[in-house]
Amino acid sequence: MIIGVDFDNTMVCYDQLFHHIACEQGLIEASTPANKTAVRDTLRAAGREQDWINLQGLVYGRRILEAPAFPGVMAFFTQARAMGHELFVISHKTRFPVSGDDVNLHDAATQWLERQGFFDPSQAGLRRENVYFELTKQAKLQRIATCRCDHFIDDLPEFLAEETFPKHVTKWLIHCEASAGDDDSPRPLISWDDATAQLLAQRVRV
- pLDDT per residue over 175-203, tens digit each? 987 655 556 789 999 999 999 999 997 65
* Model pLDDT, residue 179: 59
Higher-confidence residue of 206 and 162: namely 162
* Model pLDDT, residue 183: 61
- Give residue 206's pLDDT band: very low, low, confident or very high (50, 70, 90): very low
Q: What is the pLDDT of residues 126-166, one digit of tens each?
A: 999 999 999 999 999 999 999 999 999 999 999 999 999 99
% residues pLDDT > 90 (the chain): 89
* Model pLDDT, residue 180: 54
Span 114-121, average pLDDT: 97
How does the average pLDDT of the chain come out, rounded? 93
Q: What is the pLDDT of residues 87-105, one digit of tens each?
A: 999 999 999 998 767 899 9
As a residue count, the chain comes to: 206
125: left (phi over 0), alpha (psi -120 to 50) or beta: left
Closest by Cα among 49, 43, 38, 36 to 9: 36
Q: Which CATH superfamily is domain 2-13+68-201 in?
A: HAD superfamily/HAD-like (3.40.50.1000)
* Model pLDDT, residue 185: 85
Give the residue ranges of DSSP H helices in the chain: 15-24, 36-45, 49-60, 73-82, 105-116, 137-146, 157-160, 192-195
Report pTM. Answer: 0.92
